């Protein structure tokens, strides 16, 4: 029960990696605030978890929405101990020569500035916690070249952000770390992309793609007191894909996998 008496705010908590993280931390004793732009899915997870859970609708692309969600935390609990910034996603993208500015600004906003908005709103509360930690979810795309440049650049930005904030807020004992997942079986790989998910397995030295629970376990470690002396790092949780050279033998382009897509954007 590493999270007894801890209040944890999780973005993107209604599905996939965020939901698995919420279940994991709740199972370890945390009170979880499930922040997601999909209100119904967030409420349904809160109903399922029961006590020590609260769903708040929040779109990380909107500062007022983010600030309002943290106001709810302040009013409901008067404290916050950990922020887990999972919400993000990609979009179909053309070759860089043809990529429009709004594709870049949109993906930077969702994957980088959106997390900054959450950190900014969380900091006044985190300062009062004795176990304050922020864990951000990046991607192996943010660590090496797997294509999807705007998404990759935004995710890479999180790693630098973690280093700078680790230094800036080390004196306040607030830790900042990043988890960089490889391919994870979530709805982002559903529908027409499901066959590609099976083929992606061949990229991974450990012979399988990841499950949301694989990422939740690493997030729980970095958010917990077990990682009390770890700050400013990016931890790949990737079945060995970054260890290479397997990913060079069978590239993402050869697999014709296409971009990681947020299904909510295709509505």
Ligand X SMILES: NC(=O)c1ccc[n+]([C@@H]2O[C@H](COP(=O)([O-])OP(=O)(O)OC[C@H]3O[C@@H](n4cnc5c(N)ncnc54)[C@H](O)[C@@H]3O)[C@@H](O)[C@H]2O)c1
Q: Closest residue (Cβ) to ligand X?
A: 16
Interface contacts to ligand X, rule CB under 6 A: 11-12, 14-18, 36-38, 58-61, 86-89, 110, 114, 137, 139, 181, 183-184, 186-188, 260, 262, 264
Q: In whole angstroms, give the CA distance from residue 188 to residue 125.
A: 32
Nearer to ligand X, 31 or 90 (CB): 90
| CA–CA separation, 201 and 100 (whole Å) | 32
Closest CB to ligand X among residues 167, 194:
194
Q: What's the closest the beta carbon of residue 130 comes to ligand X, in angstroms? A: 28
CB 249 → ligand X: shortest distance, Å?
A: 20
Least Cβ distance, residue 165 to ligand X (angstroms): 18
Nearer to ligand X, 88 or 232 (CB): 88
Comparison of 173 and 258: residue with beta carbon closer to ligand X: 258
The CB-of-81 to ligand X minimum distance in angstroms stands at 21
* Catalytic residue list: 151
């Amino acid at each position: 029960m590493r999270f007894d008496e801890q209040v944890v705010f999780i973005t993107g908590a209604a599905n996939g990696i965020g939901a698995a993280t919420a279940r994991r931390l709740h199972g370890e004793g945390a009170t979880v605030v499930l922040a997601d732009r999909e209100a119904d899915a967030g409420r349904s997870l809160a109903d399922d978890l029961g006590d020590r859970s609260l769903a708040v609708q929040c779109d990380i692309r909107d500062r007022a929405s983010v600030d309002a969600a943290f106001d709810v935390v302040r009013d409901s609990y008067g404290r916050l101990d950990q922020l887990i910034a999972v919400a993000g996603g990609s979009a179909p993208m053309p070759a860089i020569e043809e990529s429009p500015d709004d594709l870049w600004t949109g993906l930077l906003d969702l994957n980088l500035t959106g997390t900054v908005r959450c950190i900014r709103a969380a900091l006044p509360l985190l300062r009062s916690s004795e176990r304050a930690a922020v864990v951000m979810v990046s991607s192996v795309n943010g660590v090496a070249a797997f294509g999807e440049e705007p998404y990759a650049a935004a995710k890479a930005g999180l790693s630098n952000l973690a280093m700078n904030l680790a230094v800036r807020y080390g004196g306040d004992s607030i830790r900042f770390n990043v988890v960089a997942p490889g391919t994870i079986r979530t709805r982002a790989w559903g529908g027409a992309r499901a066959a590609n998910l099976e083929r992606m397995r061949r990229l991974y030295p450990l012979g399988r793609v990841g499950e949301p629970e694989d990422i939740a376990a690493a997030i729980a470690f970095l958010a917990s007191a077990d990682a009390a002396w770890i700050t400013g790092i990016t931890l790949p949780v990737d079945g060995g894909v970054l260890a290479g050279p397997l990913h060079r033998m069978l590239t993402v382009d050869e697999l014709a996998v296409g971009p990681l897509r947020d299904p909510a954007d295709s509505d």
